[in-house]
């Protein structure tokens, strides 16, 4: 009996373990499936930022050199008091290389166009996607007129026309005054004396016409700031600041818009300079400026007294250059006061003659 009880006591722990295992198995069978591991977090979205607005410093320097010439020539005074004044003014006015002046005018027009927020925003819409940006830039390089299709181009074109047109108008108006001075100054004895070293003076004009000009450091810095942020250049004049002008536009205005658009796309920096430089050339305006130089050389070749040099300066340096800039900008020239006075005089003369004939006929009938 003792043996049987002892056997039951030894097997009790085994049955307990088995019963516990069976119970755990039953409970696990009744429970639901194990929860799935947490899903991995999605990667952070890649933000594609548009490149910054960029214009090669070499293009900005061209614009600065253009501005330096306009300021230098615009400072010429028609109040000449001696041959030295005439020689100095002639050198200042003739000191531009036609190709560089044209490139500078278009480059400056591009900086001005970048002052128009609507135009910049219209171009920057295509700057975020790299493929689209590349395609649009290629189309502009292939045909600069593509830039006219961007939103805001009308107001940007108005700014460019106003800026370049005002520069041309300033030179043209000053040229009229200097031209008139060529006649007024003849009342002074020095003006009728022959210019010394006439051949050297002609050689000087040709030399400064072939020498590239430089911009002022302060103006270059101002233009560089204007590329990155609008509002640095104030454009105002007869056309009005920001006045929209619809197409058609002249090639000079179109090319200014094209360079500005490439800058807004980030495709006008030093890396793209080889593609931007051809856009800064414009054949029609180049012919006009080159013809101005040829007329100047011919004028100086035959001019003898100082007052004739004053005429060459007024007509073929200031008036002709101003005319080329205004024509390139697509801005009408103001009426020449001399031509207006001549027309009024001719009209008065014709009216007087008509009245005299009428009186004569009346007397004959009587």
The residues that bridge with 55 in the sheet, in sequence order, are 268
DSSP helix/strand/coil, 145: helix
Contact between 90 and 181 under an 8 Å Cβ cutoff? The reply is no
Q: What is the pLDDT of residue 14?
A: 47
How far apart, in whole angstroms, are the C-alpha atoms of residue 264 and residue 152?
13
Task: End-to-end CA distance of the chain: give it in Å, rounded.
Answer: 183
Rounded CA-CA distance 96/185 in Å is: 26
Contacts of 209 (CB under 8 A, 6+ apart): 94, 95, 96, 97, 98, 293, 296
- Residue 173: both structure tokens together: 């108006």
Where do we find the tokens 């899903």? 39
Residue 50: the pLDDT is 83
Q: Which residue has the tokens 């004009």?
A: 205
> What does each of the 366 residues of the chain score in pLDDT, given as a tens digit?
455 455 445 555 545 555 555 555 555 555 555 566 665 666 555 556 789 999 999 999 999 999 999 999 999 999 999 999 999 999 999 999 999 999 999 999 999 999 999 999 999 999 999 999 999 999 999 999 999 999 999 999 999 999 999 999 999 999 999 999 999 999 999 999 999 999 999 999 999 999 999 999 999 999 999 998 866 666 544 344 558 899 999 999 999 999 999 999 999 999 999 999 999 999 999 999 999 999 999 999 999 999 999 999 999 999 999 999 999 999 998 876 655 555 566 556 666 656 665 666 666 666
Q: In 10 A of CB 122, how many CB atoms?
A: 20
Report residue 243 as tokens: 């006045």
């Amino acid at each position: 009996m003792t043996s049987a009880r002892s056997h039951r006591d030894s097997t009790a722990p085994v049955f307990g373990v088995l019963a516990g295992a069976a119970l755990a198995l039953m409970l696990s069978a009744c429970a639901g499936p194990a929860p799935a591991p947490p899903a991995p977090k999605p990667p952070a979205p890649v933000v594609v930022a548009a490149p910054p607005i960029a214009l090669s410093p070499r293009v900005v320097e061209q614009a600065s050199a253009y501005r330096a010439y306009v300021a230098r020539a615009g400072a010429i005074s028609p109040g000449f008091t001696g041959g030295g004044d005439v020689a100095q003014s002639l050198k200042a006015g003739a000191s531009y290389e036609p190709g560089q002046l044209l490139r500078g005018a278009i480059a400056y027009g591009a900086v001005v166009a970048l002052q128009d927020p609507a135009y910049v925003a219209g171009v920057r819409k295509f700057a975020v996607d790299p493929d689209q940006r590349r395609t649009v830039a290629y189309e502009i390089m292939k045909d600069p007129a593509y830039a006219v299709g961007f939103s805001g181009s009308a107001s940007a074109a108005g700014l460019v026309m106003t800026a370049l047109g005002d520069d041309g108008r300033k030179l043209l108006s000053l040229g009229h005054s200097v031209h008139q001075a060529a006649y007024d100054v003849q009342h002074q004895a020095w003006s009728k004396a022959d210019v010394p070293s006439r051949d050297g003076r002609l050689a000087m004009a040709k030399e400064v016409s072939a020498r590239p000009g430089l911009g002022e450091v302060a103006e270059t810095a101002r233009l560089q700031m204007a590329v990155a942020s609008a509002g640095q250049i104030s454009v105002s004049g007869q056309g009005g600041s920001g006045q929209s002008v619809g197409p058609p536009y002249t090639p000079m205005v179109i090319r200014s818009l094209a360079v500005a658009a490439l800058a807004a796309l980030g495709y006008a920096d030093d890396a793209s300079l080889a593609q931007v430089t051809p856009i800064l050339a414009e054949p029609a305006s180049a012919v006009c400026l080159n013809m101005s130089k040829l007329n100047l050389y011919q004028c100086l070749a035959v001019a003898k007294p100082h007052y004739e040099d004053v005429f060459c300066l007024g007509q073929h340096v200031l008036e002709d250059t101003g005319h080329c800039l205004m024509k390139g900008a697509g801005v009408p020239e103001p009426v020449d006061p001399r031509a207006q006075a001549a027309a009024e005089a001719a009209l008065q003369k014709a009216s007087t003659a008509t009245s005299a004939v009428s009186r004569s006929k009346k007397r004959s009938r009587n």
